[in-house]
């Protein structure tokens, strides 16, 4: 028995599944494409969610983590981004209350502006019978 087959026969769980998939080139390619699509979708949702309250960065890290299971570049990018995130949060934390208040104000303004542009305020106003012109999106959905 070759070393590769012996190693494959002693693996269990996820590693055994991945080894069986890797042994079939067409299936391996399809699997990698699936991981790429899923990871990219999760990463894109995370990037869109970053400015909003909630788990934006966690979703970004999850998307890169999915991609890192199959792609070396994503593993390197995940490590680099994790370091930069930690440095950025350390810098932000060291700035004190004034910086936190400024960042919270900018974040709040960005969220409100985005919701207005997307027509959320006009839609909710319509639900409760308030039809003020300034609530409507400038995009004229």
Measured CA to CA, the distance from residue 34 to residue 18 in angstroms comes to 13
Determine the distance from the C-alpha atom of residue 18 to the mean position of all C-alpha atoms in its chain, rounded to a whole number.
24
Determine the distance from the C-alpha atom of residue 42 to the mean position of all C-alpha atoms in its chain, rounded to a whole number.
5
For residues 39 and 63, is the Cβ–Cβ distance under 8 A? yes
pLDDT of residue 136: 82
Phi, psi of 59 (to 5 degrees): -70, -40
Per-residue pLDDT for the chain (141 aa), expressed as one digit of tens each? 455 555 555 677 888 888 999 899 999 999 999 999 999 999 999 998 887 777 888 999 999 999 999 999 999 999 999 999 899 889 888 888 888 899 889 888 988 888 888 888 888 887 888 888 878 888 775
pLDDT of residue 4: 54
pLDDT of residue 13: 85
pLDDT of residue 1: 46
Comparing C-alpha atoms, which of 59, 66, 26 is closest to residue 45?
59
In this prediction the pTM is 0.62
Beta strands in the chain, from DSSP E residues, in sequence order: none
Question: Please, which residues have CB within 8 angstroms of residue 28's CB and are 6 or more apart in sequence?
Answer: 21, 22
């Amino acid at each position: 028995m070759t070393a590769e087959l012996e190693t494959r026969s002693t693996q269990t769980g996820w590693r055994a599944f991945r080894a069986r998939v890797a042994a079939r080139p067409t299936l391996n390619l399809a699997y990698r494409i699936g991981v790429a699509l899923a990871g990219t979708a999760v990463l894109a949702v995370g990037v869109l969610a970053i400015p909003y309250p909630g788990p934006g960065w966690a979703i970004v890290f999850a998307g890169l983590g999915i991609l890192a299971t199959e792609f070396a570049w994503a593993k390197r990018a995940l490590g680099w981004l994790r370091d930069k995130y930690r440095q950025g949060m350390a810098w932000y934390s060291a700035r004190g209350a004034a910086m936190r208040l400024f960042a919270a104000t900018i974040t709040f303004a960005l969220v409100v502006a985005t919701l207005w542009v997307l027509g959320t305020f006009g839609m909710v106003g319509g639900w409760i019978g308030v039809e003020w012109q300034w609530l409507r999106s400038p995009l004229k959905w």
